Amino acid sequence: MRIGVLAIQGDVREHRRHLERLGVDAPEVRRPAELSGLAGLIMPGGESSTIGMLMTESGLLAALRARMAEGFPVYGTCAGMILLANRVEGSRGTSLSWIGGLDVTVARNAYGRQVQSFEADIPVSVLGEAPVHVVFIRAPRIVTAGPAVHVLGRLDDEAVLVEQGPLLASSFHPELTDDLRIHRYFSAKAQRFLQDGAASLAT
């Protein structure tokens, strides 16, 4: 199985290494043609406005939207989640381009004003009893989530890991620790898409 990693900014190498440790091929994706043959895509963090602009220029954004209309699984972390969000509070920055599809409203840099970066243990019951240790870096906050959005993990009372059918999104970075469980969870989603098609992931 192959799961692509969007290679514009961010922890591309760390995401690829996590997938490869799970036995998944993890090619870098920069161009529309590189989406073919993939069972899913991970979008790392970075600066969402820049990533969105570059994805638009290369045609990748339109191509990805077309794949997502067929139920293609995508996991957006941090800036990747902002790009998947249907709504962003305030401005999206210099770029008006985003992907959408995830029925949430997010606020950019919402944890960053108090603390630039911090680590936390997040209980995620679908991943087992031990909490997941993750890193927040100028993280976006999920302000509202529609009824189709399933909250998998919370920090205090706020959703930080969510799922909507084939889409997975987190405010935090799961690639900076050795815990592979979130990548394994997304890989299982991609595997179901490959074997049973989009209907198996519909909410």
Q: Which of 153, 78, 75 is nearest to 109 (CA)?
A: 78
Write phi, then psi, for 55 (nearest 5 degrees): -65, -35
Contacts of 69 (CB under 8 A, 6+ apart): none
Q: Give yes or no: 78 in active site.
A: yes
Residue among 79, 132, 149, 182 that touches ligand GLN (CB under 6 A): 79
Per-residue string for binding with ligand GLN, 35-64, x by CB under 6 A? Answer: ----------xxxx----------------
Q: List 28's β-bridge partners, or say none.
A: 5
The 125-144 site mask, x for binding ligand GLN (CB under 6 A), equals: ------------xx------
Phi, psi values for residue 24, rounded to 5°: -105, 135
89 carries an active-site annotation: no
Interaction between residue 167 and ligand GLN (CB under 6 A): no
Nearer to ligand GLN, 50 or 58 (CB): 50
CA distance linking residue 196 with residue 176, whole number of Å = 31
Minimal distance, residue 88 CB to ligand GLN, in Å: 9
For 86: left if phi > 0, alpha if psi spans -120 to 50, otherwise beta; the answer is: alpha
Determine the 3-state secondary structure of 44 from DSSP. Answer: coil
Residue 78 interacting with ligand GLN (CB under 6 A):
yes
Q: Is residue 118 classed as helix, strand or coil in its secondary structure?
A: strand
CB of 16 vs ligand GLN, minimal distance in Å: 17
Which residue among 15, 34, 78, 183 is the active-site one? 78
Q: Any catalytic annotation for residue 175?
A: yes
Residues binding ligand GLN: number (CB under 6 A): 11
Distance, in Å, from the CA atom of 97 to the CA atom of 117, rounded to the nearest integer, reads: 26
CB count within 10 Å of CB 72 equals 22
Residue of 16, 108, 183, 189 that binds ligand GLN (CB under 6 A): 108
Instruction: Answer yes or no whether residue 6 interacts with ligand GLN by CB under 6 A.
Output: no
Please report whether residue 29 would count as binding ligand GLN according to CB under 6 A. no
Comparison of 46 and 101: residue with beta carbon closer to ligand GLN: 46
Q: Report the chain's C-alpha Rg in angstroms.
A: 15
Residues tagged active-site: 78, 173, 175
Residues at the site binding ligand GLN, with contacts judged by CB under 6 A: 45-48, 78-79, 82, 108-109, 137-138
